[in-house]
Chain A
């Protein structure tokens, strides 16, 4: 029977089966498993049914802990239930997992395995999460490919029902969860054939019901607990056979045969590798190649890792095995070996001791680590492991894939070794996130996978930036199944969709001889050659590449598609790769366009058709000269003026050579320098703001709102201008505290993202030509050189100091303060970062920031560069991210430490008065540090203290020196998004605000989980569509601020910079001054709202004007003065809610998909706004 072939990723494969075989699904977003929950939610919203003909209930929880608790409850009440998670999420489920297993409950959790956060967070794949769950008593079944993710999801479900042992169905995060492959889809009948209806009914029979009451969850004493625990043994002993039976049933239906441990390789292998997960696919490909070369090697793929069946493992090895290497995709520091290694070693050891060993000779067993956090695992590395096993004393406890020059664990490997299949196409596409390259490639895979006999594989690599992000798509097509679970190493097609990449990256490094090279070039095919760097020209000549060029941006512009060049480049790929006949390919592309975009409307389809039709007419083959002619080569990644670490490490990562950096290049404890983003000149803006001084009113609004701190203002003395570049602009300063000075606005054009927020906010218009403002967007390229000089000069001008001469309590003056957060990787036009920037301007020189995981931790702390920076004195924010769920507590911890150190320092000062001197001690102890002047004074006193005590060997003096800095007032900021504050971290946040501690909490409220792709949080407003709320959120937004005001001693403010920057300023200043907990909830527009991001500030204004986002401040200090602490800062709603919300796609989507529900929810939401506004008015107007 011909089965339905689909091209899907691992997440879809697993969630497809999970959705079909469950009645309840509890979800919570975490990369890389979020897509499984998204699929479940979207399918349920679409009315899709499980195999019992009902739509599963899908419920988002506040955390993975919550999801696990819910799962536990639904299982106890008799419903088949599942969930999806990874990494820290799995850790949060562990307490419930012990319970679920202890109660012998049938369930499957699907895990896209991901690294646990240690010295750093990583979203990428390894087994450290699932290995942490080994002791829970769950079976663990590892899939290594997309097909296996579908098959094993079903086998897990079948086996858990029979065994009553809960299952973790594990596949590798990203490599499998996000790899697109052509697979066979299981039909409902096939799924039903494995799910025994009697077992499902038996599961229900075990449910708690008052009709047959029993109880679980008892507490037990030493007399019986142990015996009860051992009573579970038969379940675990039976499980391996149950899994094998399910495998056999699947084989009978599908022909795909699996064993608990699958052996592949030479029947008389002497060297055998044991491993599990996606890496085993690469190992299998390598083993096949080595066996073909006559090597006696083999591979044991571990499928069922828990319960670990020693008997089945031993049976899998050829008796000829003399050396075994066990590869673990995890690290357990301090252990005598990683988990799989220990299990294999124990198994072999026990067999030898017990005399049941199947081996002719006792094999040598080594263990090694590979692939942490999706580190590439290639055939070359597999070969290195086999080569090592040839040695008389092979290295044990090795690593492979890195260069460890510290403890020398690593195996050398030959990167040139390749087992790439010579047949078919191996293609690389270098693009930008914004140009649609990945989406087009996914369509290409679907076309080839579903419309031809070819197998297809796609894997996509993204950088960590949210704006101007680079993507590299790795595609393989061919007549044979593709097991290459590694990036394309020998490409016969390379497309570069962004011309500036030719200078930044070695894009042709993996191109093989005679490959096709397609370049999107702003230059014609006659001119393009002369614009390439010399080294690239030489590569093209040496490798005899066939070189094609197209000006795709011109074609896109003509088709009205802006910068989306996806379908144009896709058409070119088909035209010159020869995968399909040209006409057929174009017809298929058009079909695919209709399928992909049809539901978005005809106009989109027409536009894409036009682009396809126009593409080929603009595609040219470039005549490659016989000699390289260019006189220039790619510039260095960073300026030679950058610090050593940036030169040696950061620059290498920026250039795409991070994989080659050795262990010694890195700090062992995750400590990194700040102030490195300034060296990464990204040049991603096509247009940048240009200042027209004649119109400027020096209001500072542009500086205030710039998300990337790339537009700045300074006031300086005229004499500072002596060596100013000719083009440097300046006007008389209009600051009453700073008379007779000059003023300038300067744009860092190489760091600007071109978001336009500054232009939109600029109030200064030319009276005769209002389209001309004091800031106008102009093309960046012609300005780059000139403005680079101006920027460098601008940086040399002195910054203002916080010496008390100027009050920084208003927007105009604050523009002069140096932002200590700059050039982050946040989205162009980000609504969060202007608040972070403000925080750092006002308090950054004495701030500790605890940052919840989320957008702000990624643009704040994702390598390669760090946007938090330092001032001229070397001070700046000290920043750390602990976890998602614990950020309030983490920040409170910082406060407690600072207070404790301050207390100790003060005690020591008293004790050491004779040494310190009364005047200095009194000065330090009596300074209340209520303003910047006092804080400066305190810093000077601390400096004097250090100078005075320097060189002393007295223990107490040395102690005082070690805590002396704590005498200067520090500002603790707890920063995070609404997913953290309203949901997963709310318990901690509530505790911290209740603690009375002097911390400042900044909630960057985008009303969704932005970082993981826009899932609904409790902050999501009623009627908005979000992932996990695909039918529109039916419940109102939680009123976090008002809840916090109920404590009475908490400063609370709700702000929206776009509606009132002055109110925002006041809130930040008052919050910091409040000697207790403060909570600022900041409206942050976001691309997840579906808006023109340049109008983000206007959206904030509409949110306030409609009453959706009232501005207020609740200041306990006012209550102490006998005044009403609650001040409502926005006026009565001016516009109906619909006039605000229907300017945003998140709401309009519901109108478009379900107008009746949209109308209903709009009515309720408007009512909720009215009620809340009345409540706020009452609060503001009450008499104390």
Chain B
């Protein structure tokens, strides 16, 4: 049974990859992912905005109250370094991970400034990452930002990063584009080695008692797989880039569906956060079991097998499918 796959030119022993999450925040965590059988690991995201905020907040705290009274010219000891403030801690972890595990290590970056994207991408490559995932986590909250400028932002970031690094670069996207296919094509044209579908946004909640907005990250559910599944199936074969599916991958069936839709890898985080990294082993075993039962010999056989280009009825991925579904719903309601 050959579970191996390639992703952005990297050879993976299997297609199950933990996506960016707190599980990869420590070397021990990364080792545990490898031990559980992960095909590669996407590191947690280096957030430029968070680095900046940490930096400004640390600076504000260290400055607060200083040089105001003769007795207390400062309130904290002088440190020679703050590894956690800049990217140093992250880079060191990438470096240590590379020397400690055998599976590919994929860095993940969320920048805010053009300089930040380029600089941090370069540093992550220097630290030894095998590839880089650009996590363009951007909410165009202003009604004055046009869709076109949002798209430009993605393309420019990718272009700048691709000019800077020579390792493969994946773009992690949100589903919120008017024409996702076109967007995907532009990114592929710009050199994206893979497209990762889809990003999950923090969706704030409302605290009714306190009348406050509270941040909340809801872990994904299996049903959320369908959106990326649909889009990968639609785009597979149309574009040169590899695909990864993230959001909603919880079971071996989800992994199999992802591959069949056209993804080279299926990425998992919520499931591992909820039930532990041991789920990697269980899911892989179940994938193998299913393949054995259904007489598949390699995952390559199934990659893209259920994509729009390969299925008997391509329109199943288009509007007709929607119409049919509504009709069946009406029938059931009656």
* A432 to B66 alpha-carbon distance, docked (Å): 10
B3-27 interface bits toward A, Cβ cutoff 8 Å, 1 = contact, 0 = none:
0000000000000000000000000
Asked if A41 and B69 make an inter-chain contact with CB atoms under 8 angstroms apart, the answer reads: no
Closest to A562 in B: B60
- A206 at interface (Cβ–Cβ under 8 A)? no
- Which chain B residues border A770 with CB–CB below 8 Å? 211-212
- B65 at interface (Cβ–Cβ under 8 A)? yes
Known: A604-B59, A1152-B84. A1087 touches B65 (CB 8 A): yes
Known: A597-B59, A601-B86. A462 touches B70 (CB 8 A): yes
Known: A1030-B77, A1155-B84. A1013 touches B56 (CB 8 A): no
Asked if A1011 and B82 make an inter-chain contact with CB atoms under 8 angstroms apart, the answer reads: no
- B73 at interface (Cβ–Cβ under 8 A)? yes
- Output the residue of A1011, A1025, A1153 with the most chain B CB within 10 A: A1153
Partner of B61, one of A38, A434, A767, A1145: A1145
- B189 at interface (Cβ–Cβ under 8 A)? no
CB distance from B83 to the nearest CB of A (A): 6
Asked if A1090 and B62 make an inter-chain contact with CB atoms under 8 angstroms apart, the answer reads: yes
- A731 at interface (Cβ–Cβ under 8 A)? no
Closest to B81 in A: A599
Asked if B84 and A462 make an inter-chain contact with CB atoms under 8 angstroms apart, the answer reads: no
- B79 at interface (Cβ–Cβ under 8 A)? yes
Asked if A1149 and B79 make an inter-chain contact with CB atoms under 8 angstroms apart, the answer reads: yes
Asked if A41 and B56 make an inter-chain contact with CB atoms under 8 angstroms apart, the answer reads: no
Known: A770-B212, A1011-B72, A1153-B79. A604 touches B67 (CB 8 A): no
Report the stretch among A67-75, A465-473, A739-747, A954-962 that lies at the interface: A465-473
Partner of A1090, one of B56, B61, B82: B61
Report the stretch among B47-55, B130-138, B305-313 that lies at the interface: B47-55
Partner of B64, one of A432, A438, A597, A1087: A1087
Asked if A466 and B68 make an inter-chain contact with CB atoms under 8 angstroms apart, the answer reads: yes
- Output the residue of B53, B55, B65 with the most chain A CB within 10 A: B65
* A193 to B50 alpha-carbon distance, docked (Å): 50
- Which chain A residues border B71 with CB–CB below 8 Å? 31-32, 34, 123, 858, 1011-1013
A589-627 interface bits toward B, Cβ cutoff 8 Å, 1 = contact, 0 = none:
000000001011111100100000000000000000000
Known: A464-B69, A1030-B77. A604 touches B64 (CB 8 A): no
Asked if A45 and B70 make an inter-chain contact with CB atoms under 8 angstroms apart, the answer reads: no
Partner of A1014, one of B54, B75, B211: B75
Closest to B57 in A: A1145
- A167 at interface (Cβ–Cβ under 8 A)? no
- Which chain A residues border B292 with CB–CB below 8 Å? none
Asked if B58 and A601 make an inter-chain contact with CB atoms under 8 angstroms apart, the answer reads: yes
- Output the residue of B52, B69, B70 with the most chain A CB within 10 A: B69
- Which chain B residues border A124 with CB–CB below 8 Å? 70
Closest to A436 in B: B63
- A714 at interface (Cβ–Cβ under 8 A)? no
- Output the residue of B68, B72, B80, B89 with the most chain A CB within 10 A: B72
- Which chain A residues border B69 with CB–CB below 8 Å? 433, 462, 464-466, 469, 858
- B76 at interface (Cβ–Cβ under 8 A)? yes
* A1011 to B72 alpha-carbon distance, docked (Å): 6
- A694 at interface (Cβ–Cβ under 8 A)? no
CB distance from A466 to the nearest CB of B (A): 6
- Which chain B residues border A1087 with CB–CB below 8 Å? 64-65, 75
* A1011 to B65 alpha-carbon distance, docked (Å): 11
Asked if B80 and A599 make an inter-chain contact with CB atoms under 8 angstroms apart, the answer reads: yes
- B74 at interface (Cβ–Cβ under 8 A)? yes
CB distance from B252 to the nearest CB of A (A): 33
- Which chain A residues border B83 with CB–CB below 8 Å? 1152-1155
CB distance from B255 to the nearest CB of A (A): 32
* A602 to B55 alpha-carbon distance, docked (Å): 7
CB distance from B98 to the nearest CB of A (A): 18
Asked if A433 and B66 make an inter-chain contact with CB atoms under 8 angstroms apart, the answer reads: yes
Asked if B75 and A438 make an inter-chain contact with CB atoms under 8 angstroms apart, the answer reads: no
Partner of A601, one of B59, B66, B77: B59
* A1013 to B53 alpha-carbon distance, docked (Å): 25
Asked if B72 and A174 make an inter-chain contact with CB atoms under 8 angstroms apart, the answer reads: no
Asked if A433 and B65 make an inter-chain contact with CB atoms under 8 angstroms apart, the answer reads: yes
CB distance from A1091 to the nearest CB of B (A): 7
- B293 at interface (Cβ–Cβ under 8 A)? no
CB distance from A260 to the nearest CB of B (A): 33
- A839 at interface (Cβ–Cβ under 8 A)? no
B84-120 interface bits toward A, Cβ cutoff 8 Å, 1 = contact, 0 = none:
1110010000000000000000000000000000000
- Which chain B residues border A607 with CB–CB below 8 Å? 56
- Which chain A residues border B53 with CB–CB below 8 Å? 603
- Output the residue of B57, B71, B78, B84 with the most chain A CB within 10 A: B71
- Which chain B residues border A602 with CB–CB below 8 Å? 51-52, 55, 86
Asked if A436 and B51 make an inter-chain contact with CB atoms under 8 angstroms apart, the answer reads: no
Partner of B77, one of A38, A767, A1010: A38
- Output the residue of A607, A1146, A1149 with the most chain B CB within 10 A: A1149
Closest to B51 in A: A601
- A42 at interface (Cβ–Cβ under 8 A)? yes
- Which chain A residues border B74 with CB–CB below 8 Å? 1013-1014
CB distance from B302 to the nearest CB of A (A): 42
- Which chain A residues border B76 with CB–CB below 8 Å? 1014, 1025-1027, 1088, 1090, 1145-1146, 1149
* A1149 to B85 alpha-carbon distance, docked (Å): 9
- A542 at interface (Cβ–Cβ under 8 A)? no
CB distance from B23 to the nearest CB of A (A): 15
Closest to A1031 in B: B77
**Which residues B255-305 have CB closer than 8 A to chain A?**
none
- Which chain A residues border B89 with CB–CB below 8 Å? 1152, 1155
- Which chain B residues border A918 with CB–CB below 8 Å? none
Closest to B113 in A: A606
Asked if B67 and A1010 make an inter-chain contact with CB atoms under 8 angstroms apart, the answer reads: no
Closest to A1146 in B: B76
* A1093 to B75 alpha-carbon distance, docked (Å): 14
CB distance from B304 to the nearest CB of A (A): 42
CB distance from A1121 to the nearest CB of B (A): 37
- Which chain A residues border B58 with CB–CB below 8 Å? 600-601, 1145, 1148-1149, 1152
- Which chain A residues border B64 with CB–CB below 8 Å? 1087, 1090, 1093
A1140-1166 interface bits toward B, Cβ cutoff 8 Å, 1 = contact, 0 = none:
000001101101111100000000000
- Which chain B residues border A432 with CB–CB below 8 Å? 68
- Which chain A residues border B65 with CB–CB below 8 Å? 433-434, 466, 827, 1087-1088
Known: A600-B59, A604-B59, A1145-B62. A46 touches B80 (CB 8 A): yes
8 A-B Cβ contacts within 8 A?
A600-B58, A601-B86, A765-B211, A1087-B75, A1088-B76, A1149-B76, A1152-B83, A1152-B85
Which B residues are within 8 Å of any A CB, using their own CB? 51-59, 61-86, 89, 211-212
Closest 6 CB pairs of A and B: A601-B55, A433-B68, A1152-B84, A1013-B72, A438-B67, A1090-B61
- Additional A-B contact list (14), CB under 8 Å, known A123-B70, A1011-B72: A45-B77, A433-B66, A434-B65, A465-B68, A560-B56, A603-B53, A604-B56, A765-B211, A1090-B61, A1090-B76, A1091-B61, A1093-B64, A1149-B58, A1152-B58
